[in-house]
C-alpha cells in the first residue's frame, strides 16, 4: 500500500514538472516587417517562434553567413501558411539582394548547430559533438535564393523538418548533416545545383513523403547509418536517388555505415540535363538514372516504382568500377577512403519499366537497362530478386544478375 502511494506520488511529481515546463515555454509571434532572428535570439529552450505570412529578408550584417542562425535547444520554428493564397500565404525567407556565387554573405537560409559550430566543423570535432543541440522543429517555411543551402542541421539530435519548401539554391535544399534521430517529411525541394535533399554523416533519420525534383541529385545518402527513405516522389533530376561511397563527399567514413532502406518510392523521369557546376563531382553524373548505388554495402532497395529513366532504372556498381570510366576522378588519382565494393545489397520487389531506352552518348551507355549490376571491384553478397514485370531488361558483369545474397 505504502509502495503504491509512493509510486503515485512520483508520477504526480513528474506530471507537475512536465506541466510546469510546458507552461513556462513561450510563444514569440513575428509579423511582416519584423525580424525572425530577433525573436530567435531571445527565445529559451522549448519556446516557439510563430511567423505570419510574408517575405522575410533578415539583416545579413546581423547574422553573418546565415539567414537564420539557431543555436538553442528544442526551438520550434513555425510558419503560419495560409493555403489557397499562393505566395501571399507563405512564409518566405530569402536574401534581400540576389546572391553572387562566391561573394554574398548569406550562404544558408536556416542553419541549426551549437554555438561556435560552423559548416567547417566536421565529424570528430570534440567540442561540437559534446555540445550537440537537443531538439529542433521547423514547419511551413519557404526558403530560396541562398548561395549554399536552404535548411541545414549540424550536430543536432531529435529534429523534425516538416512541410517546408526550398528552391533556387546553389547547393542543397534540405541538408541534415552530422545529426541523429530525425524526421524529414512532406517537404518540397527543387531547383538546386547539387542535391534537392542530402542526408550526410547522420544516423536514424526517416525521409518520408517528400517531393524532390530539378537537381543533379534528387536525394543523396552517404556516410550514414539507419536511414529510411519511404514514399517519396523523385522525378526530373539527373539522378533520382543516390546512395554513394564516402569519396563522393567531404565527410570521413563511419565504422557503421549502411542499413539504408529505400522503400515504396516513386522514381521516374529523371532525365534532366546535368546543371551542376563544371568540375564538380555532381557534374560527372550522366542523366537518366533512377536509383544508383555506388560502392555502398548492406542496404535494401525494395518495392519502389522506377519508370521512364532513360539510362538506368536501378544500378549497383563498385565505386572504383564506376570511377574507372572517369580519367580525372578515378581511384588511382583519388584512392578510396574505405572499401570501394558494393556488398550485400538487396534489390527486391521493385517495379521497373521503360528504363534504359534512350541512354546518353557516354562511354558507359552499354549499361542501359531496367536493372544494372556492374562490378570489377570483387563485390559479393548482392541479391536481385522478385523484381517485376518479368520482361525487365538487365545488364550484369556476371552474365546474370547476382543472387548469392538472397
User: pLDDT digit of tens for each residue in the chain (406 aa)?
Assistant: 333 333 334 334 444 444 444 457 899 999 999 999 999 999 999 999 999 999 999 876 556 789 999 999 999 999 999 999 999 999 999 987 654 444 456 899 999 999 999 999 988 899 999 999 999 999 999 999 998 999 999 999 999 999 999 999 999 999 999 999 999 999 999 999 999 999 999 999 999 999 999 999 999 999 999 999 999 999 999 999 999 999 998 788 988 999 999 999 999 999 999 999 998 889 999 999 999 999 999 999 999 999 999 999 999 999 999 988 776 678 988 899 999 999 999 999 999 999 999 999 999 999 999 999 999 999 999 999 999 999 999 999 999 999 988 9
159 by DSSP, 3-state: which?
strand
Alpha-carbon distance 233 to 236, whole Å?
A: 10
Alpha-carbon distance 140 to 163, whole Å?
A: 6
Expressed in angstroms, the distance from the first to the final Cα of the chain is 57
- Stated as kind and residue range, the H or E segment containing 61 is helix 60-63
- Stated as kind and residue range, the H or E segment containing 63 is helix 60-63
Torsion sign (Cα): 322, 325, 326, 331:
positive
Strand partners, 221: 199, 243
pLDDT at 333: 83
What is the Cβ-side half-sphere exposure of residue 257, based on CA atoms within 13 angstroms?
A: 27
pLDDT at 330: 81
Contact 200, 177 (CB under 8 A): yes
Alpha-carbon distance 117 to 227, whole Å?
A: 24
Contact 353, 392 (CB under 8 A): yes
Cell numbers placing 185: 517529411
- The residue assigned the cell 545474397 is 405
Amino acid at each position: 500500500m505504502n509502495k503504491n502511494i509512493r509510486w503515485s506520488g512520483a508520477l504526480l511529481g513528474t506530471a507537475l514538472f512536465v506541466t510546469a515546463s510546458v507552461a513556462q515555454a513561450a510563444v514569440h509571434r513575428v509579423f511582416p516587417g519584423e525580424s525572425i532572428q530577433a525573436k530567435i535570439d531571445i527565445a529559451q529552450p522549448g519556446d516557439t517562434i510563430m511567423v505570419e505570412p510574408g517575405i522575410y529578408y533578415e539583416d545579413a550584417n546581423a547574422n553573418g553567413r546565415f539567414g537564420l542562425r539557431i543555436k538553442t535547444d528544442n526551438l520550434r520554428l513555425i510558419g503560419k501558411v495560409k493555403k489557397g493564397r499562393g505566395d501571399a500565404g507563405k512564409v518566405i525567407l530569402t536574401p534581400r539582394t540576389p546572391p553572387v556565387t562566391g561573394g554574398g554573405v548569406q550562404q544558408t537560409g536556416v542553419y541549426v548547430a551549437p554555438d561556435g559550430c560552423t559548416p567547417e566543423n566536421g565529424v570528430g570535432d570534440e567540442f561540437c559533438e559534446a555540445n550537440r543541440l537537443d531538439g529542433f522543429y521547423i514547419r511551413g517555411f519557404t526558403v530560396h535564393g541562398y548561395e549554399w543551402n536552404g535548411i541545414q542541421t549540424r550536430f543536432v539530435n531529435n529534429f523534425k523538418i516538416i512541410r517546408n519548401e526550398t528552391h533556387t539554391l546553389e547547393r542543397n535544399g534540405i541538408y541534415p548533416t552530422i545529426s541523429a534521430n530525425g524526421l524529414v517529411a512532406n517537404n518540397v525541394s527543387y531547383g538546386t545545383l547539387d542535391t534537392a535533399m542530402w542526408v550526410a554523416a547522420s544516423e536514424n533519420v526517416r525521409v518520408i513523403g517528400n517531393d524532390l525534383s530539378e537537381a543533379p541529385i534528387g536525394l543523396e545518402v552517404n556516410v550514414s547509418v539507419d536511414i529510411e527513405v519511404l514514399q517519396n516522389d523523385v522525378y526530373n533530376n539527373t539522378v533520382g536517388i543516390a546512395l554513394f561511397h564516402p569519396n563522393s563527399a567531404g565527410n570521413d567514413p563511419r565504422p557503421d555505415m549502411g542499413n539504408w532502406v529505400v522503400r515504396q518510392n516513386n522514381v521516374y523521369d529523371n532525365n534532366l540535363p546535368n546543371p551542376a557546376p563544371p568540375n564538380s563531382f555532381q557534374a560527372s553524373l550522366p542523366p537518366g538514372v533512377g536509383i544508383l548505388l555506388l560502392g555502398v554495402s548492406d542496404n535494401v532497395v525494395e518495392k519502389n516504382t522506377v519508370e521512364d529513366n532513360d539510362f538506368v532504372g536501378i544500378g549497383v556498381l563498385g565505386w572504383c568500377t564506376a570511377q574507372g570510366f572517369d580519367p580525372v576522378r578515378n581511384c588511382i588519382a583519388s584512392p578510396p577512403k574505405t572499401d570501394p565494393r558494393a556488398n550485400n545489397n538487396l534489390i527486391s520487389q521493385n517495379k521497373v519499366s521503360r528504363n534504359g531506352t534512350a541512354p546518353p552518348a557516354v562511354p558507359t551507355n552499354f549499361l542501359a537497362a531496367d536493372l544494372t549490376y556492374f562490378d570489377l571491384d570483387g563485390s559479393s553478397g548482392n541479391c536481385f530478386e522478385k523484381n517485376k514485370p518479368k520482361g525487365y531488361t538487365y545488364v550484369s558483369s556476371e552474365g546474370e544478375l547476382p543472387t548469392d545474397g538472397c
